[in-house]
Amino acid sequence: MKTRVDFHAEVENEMRISLPSLSVNEGMARSAVAAFCAQLNPTAVELADIKCAVSEAVTNSIVHGYRDTVGEITIHVMLCEGRMIQIEIRDKGCGIEDVKRAREPLFTTDAQGERSGMGFTVMESFCDGVRVSSRIGKGTSVTLLKRLHK
């Protein structure tokens, strides 16, 4: 059975992976997603865009979602008709109190100032769409939408 996605396109192939929220797994996440998306024969620039956006979303889950604890990050990638890709990165961490504010450039909850507050801005610059939903104490879901050129 094929699933419908935001693009209103049929899913042609999909992948799900789950990783512990360890910083060493950020590279694994971006590589796995890139390898899976490679079957659509994206340009090198498109593939780099996907990798950067996934890297930011996974890093946010590790650093902000779980803070000083280890949890699970799930990634669901859907390759859709018309060379469209939907990537959902989900955690069951602390959640985001104010998603609208968190999406503002330079906003960070990092008291030590080690984070730039540009994660969502970076994701948005590399994707055609970014959706964020979050619930305090339940976690956050970031959906990246990317349309590949023909």
Residues annotated as catalytic (active site), given as ranges:
56, 60, 115
Dist CA 54 CA 101 (whole Å): 21
Q: Which residues pair with 139 in a beta bridge?
A: 135
User: Per residue in 51-81, is it b (16+ CB within 10 Å) or e — as a string?
Assistant: bbbbbbbbbbbbbbbbeeeebebbbbbbbbe
